[in-house]
Structure 1
């Protein structure tokens, strides 16, 4: 039955979409995750932070709005297949992105919770005339842990895959 499910997912291109769009656990295989993952769910309870769940297709995802990831590798160590591997932990491709329209600080509300929660100093603010401040995100410093997303009261922090690491001002 699982062979039919995998074949069906492959033929409908769900596997490829899931690999690129969903935030998979640290150490996830970038290509072919859907074919490698057996959907056993062992990685979900292994997460000491409790930020993992399964998506509608039964694959594990990390919910960075629920808390931050410490990249401890417990999820990868619990995986009996090659879908998650400790050796791939440093290859975490996700970084924060601040949605300017939703950011309270950009709307004139004094909020710096994302900056205060970022232990790596990847977020800072540039004061602007009129009492607002624009967030600056240093992608070279951001590790994509999710600490900033978890505390944002406006839900302005999302996550994107980034190939180029550079500082960018949020517009």
Structure 2
């Protein structure tokens, strides 16, 4: 479901913009329940060892993969007293997977394997091909959605996308 941003500036200029909800911390409740329960106390931000949790719109925590990867330690959940983050052992932290965009250097004939080298689970591999550079192949089953591949990409071609 697309959300429309009706900021004052956008409203006055007649340009409402489509915005995706921010990526919430791992094990966050659904967006509506999360926004209702989160007190914006910053305890999860302070607890995050990788400092990838930042304050987003309205002061609510969001994940910034440009700052690093999520190690799924659960410290943010442990510190959340409001119940906006709730870890169930059998549940995945989120339904995110890496996606390679059109800006990928390898797709433009430039040898680059940074994302494959940084991925500890080898979810991004490069298969050799005749007559050109190896192209990235993503194994969505192996990808945990940690985001380790996002920040090191020199072309900013990797994003984390929600799986249906």
- Taking structure 2 as the reference length, what is the TM-score of the superposition? 0.82
Where in structure 2 are the equivalents of 1:87-166 lying within 5 Å?
87=88, 90-99=92-101, 101-163=102-164
Within 5 Å, give how 1:8-157 maps onto structure 2: 21-31=21-31, 32-87=33-88, 90-99=92-101, 101-157=102-158
For residue 131 of structure 1, report the CA deviation from its aligned partner.
2.2
Q: Is the 8 A contact 2:87 2:93 kept in 1?
A: no
Residue 56 of structure 1: how far off its partner (Å)? 2.1
- After superposition, the CA RMSD in angstroms is 2.1
Counterparts of 1:121 and 1:24 in 2: how far apart (Å)? 25
Q: What is the alpha-carbon distance in structure 2 between the residues aligned to residue 92 and residue 117 of structure 1? A: 21
Aligned pair count?
147
Over residues 72-114 of structure 1, what are the superposed CA-to-partner deviations in whole Å (9 max), with x where a residue is unaligned? 0001111001101222762411111110x21011111111010
User: Which runs of no fewer than 5 residues in structure 2 stay unpaired?
Assistant: 7-17
Gaps of 5+ in 1: 1-11, 164-171
C-alpha deviation, 1:129, in angstroms: 4.3
